[in-house]
């Protein structure tokens, strides 16, 4: 990679050892990924999370060294002109009686979050920053973590970001730079496989099923969806999350929807292949069945809001719960950003949900907190996929209405 004299000087320590390390991360990463230069970043979504249950059972020294790394990052300012938002991920900062939300780590996260805010980060604390104000425009160069949000930014908004991790997102935020590789370049945004959709997709979770199947086929490639209608925001969110669960997808094209893909030809830069996969109603049914293996129908957890729920989704959930009661001992979690929760409080949705026995969980999700559960019903393919291993629970992935019916009954009641 060729650096400017100023970038070279930072690499050699002109702005101190930490920024030199940040520059080294970006330069080495760029070299590995085939970048030829660093380019200016307009927008970042960074991860500065204390590990909490991700490091359950770890040595004290591991936690301390890891958290000291976060503090070091926060002693520097975000780059001028760069819109930087922040996620924390593994704890909720709300007062909540839950032993998995380790009070000591919550305290450390509060300290880090305050330092980060002082450093210039906007504390959105969400896996879906595009729902709470970080909405990049077409062509905007971003450095985003959160694999589902990366796919959404590239595919739905037409912004440009590679798949960032914690260190690269911090470095990009502080230096205002990212290595130019992958989907930051026009030629690398060309579709790599065609998915024809023949199924009737009638809910956001159906779109998650499509993403779950297509992501596995796509690997690190760029799937192009042909023959689908325009998804709602919630449907697009599920599609993007599932693509980056079974696969390592950075972006997809929905022909006629993705800003740079008004047609199938445009998605493939003119070179349209035969379909690699046709997603039928049978494929849809099999996708659901793949995340429904269970030994019984009684349930103890219902998880909604993966990725974090929008205000519209919370309104829909409130409408389904109004005047009803969640069955004991089911815990109904609705995960969202605290910005969205603030809206839900003001609009009265929170009260309806809490009166019904549900709980709105900010900053994190039950799987990241590793709240024990035996059998979970969830509307998110991503949550269902990971909860099995992370929580050790059986899962049933289902559409929102079926999730709510299960929550009210205390048992899986089927799809209809």
Q: Which stretches of the chain bind other proteins, using CB under 8 A? A: 25, 28-29, 32-33, 47, 49, 51, 54-59, 61-62, 65-66, 69, 89, 145-147, 150, 162-168, 181-182, 215, 219-220, 244-248, 250, 367, 385-386, 388-390
User: What is the Cα–Cα distance from 377 to 371, expressed in whole angstroms?
Assistant: 14
User: What is the Cα–Cα distance from 248 to 250, expressed in whole angstroms?
Assistant: 7
Query: Please, which residue, 125 or 181, has the CB nearer to other proteins?
Result: 181
Alpha helix positions (H), 102-253 = 103-119, 147-155, 166-175, 204-218, 233-246
Q: Check if the beta carbon of residue 352 is closer than 8 Å to that of residue 372.
A: no
Query: Please, which residue, 7 or 168, has the CB nearer to other proteins?
Result: 168
Instruction: In angstroms, give the least distance from the CB of 287 to other proteins.
Output: 14
Instruction: In angstroms, give the least distance from the CB of 390 to other proteins.
Output: 6
Q: Check if the beta carbon of residue 385 is closer than 8 Å to that of residue 246.
A: yes
Query: Please, which residue, 219 or 329, has the CB nearer to other proteins?
Result: 219
Query: Please, which residue, 50 or 353, has the CB nearer to other proteins?
Result: 50
User: What is the Cα–Cα distance from 163 to 64, expressed in whole angstroms?
Assistant: 27
Q: Check if the beta carbon of residue 382 is closer than 8 Å to that of residue 245.
A: yes
Query: Please, which residue, 61 or 187, has the CB nearer to other proteins?
Result: 61
Instruction: In angstroms, give the least distance from the CB of 355 to other proteins.
Output: 33
3-state secondary structure 79-135: CCCCEEEEECCCCCCCCCCCCCCCHHHHHHHHHHHHHHHHHCCECCCCCCHHHCCCC
Query: Please, which residue, 62 or 281, has the CB nearer to other proteins?
Result: 62
Instruction: In angstroms, give the least distance from the CB of 247 to other proteins.
Output: 5
Instruction: In angstroms, give the least distance from the CB of 172 to other proteins.
Output: 11
- Which two structure tokens, joined as six digits, stand for 13? 């320590």
141: DSSP letter: B
Length of the chain: 416
Instruction: In angstroms, give the least distance from the CB of 183 to other proteins.
Output: 10
């Amino acid at each position: 990679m060729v650096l400017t004299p100023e970038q070279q000087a930072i690499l050699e320590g002109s702005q101190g050892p930490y920024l030199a390390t940040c520059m080294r991360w970006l330069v080495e990463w760029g070299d590995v990924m085939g970048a030829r230069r660093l380019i200016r970043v307009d927008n970042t979504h960074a991860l500065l999370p204390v590990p909490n249950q991700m490091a359950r059972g770890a040595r004290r020294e591991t936690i301390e060294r890891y958290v000291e790394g976060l503090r070091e990052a926060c002693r520097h300012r975000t780059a001028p002109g760069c819109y930087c938002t922040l996620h924390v991920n593994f704890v909720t900062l709300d007062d909540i009686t839950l032993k998995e939300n380790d009070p000591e780590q919550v305290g450390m996260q509060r300290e880090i979050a305050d330092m980060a805010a002082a450093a210039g980060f906007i504390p959105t604390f969400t896996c879906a920053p595009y729902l709470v104000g970080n909405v990049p425009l077409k062509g905007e160069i971003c450095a985003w973590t959160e694999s589902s949000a990366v796919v959404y930014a590239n595919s739905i908004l037409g912004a440009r970001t590679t798949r960032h991790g914690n260190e690269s997102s911090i470095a990009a935020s502080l230096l205002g730079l990212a290595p130019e590789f992958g989907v930051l370049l026009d030629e690398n945004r060309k579709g790599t496989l065609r998915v024809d959709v023949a199924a009737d997709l009638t809910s956001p979770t159906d779109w998650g099923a499509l993403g779950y199947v297509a992501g596995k086929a796509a690997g690190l490639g760029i799937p192009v969806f042909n023959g689908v209608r325009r998804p709602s925001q919630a449907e697009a969110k599920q599609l993007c999350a599932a693509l980056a669960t079974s696969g390592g997808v950075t972006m997809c094209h929905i022909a006629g929807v993705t800003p740079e893909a008004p047609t199938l030809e445009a998605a493939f830069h003119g070179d349209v292949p035969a379909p690699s996969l046709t997603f039928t109603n049978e494929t849809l049914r099999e996708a659901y069945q793949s995340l429904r293996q269970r030994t019984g129908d009684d349930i103890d957890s219902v998880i909604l809001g993966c990725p974090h729920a929008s205000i519209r989704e919370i309104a829909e959930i409130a409408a389904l719960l109004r005047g009803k009661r969640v069955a004991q001992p089911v815990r109904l979690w609705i995960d969202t950003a605290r910005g969205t929760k603030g809206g839900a409080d003001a609009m009265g949705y929170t009260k309806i949900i809490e009166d019904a026995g549900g709980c709105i969980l900010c900053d994190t999700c039950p799987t990241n907190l590793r709240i024990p559960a035996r059998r979970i019903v969830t509307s998110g393919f991503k949550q269902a996929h990971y909860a099995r291993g992370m929580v050790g629970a059986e899962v049933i992935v289902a559409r929102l209405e079926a999730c709510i019916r299960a929550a009210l009954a205390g048992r899986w009641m089927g799809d209809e």
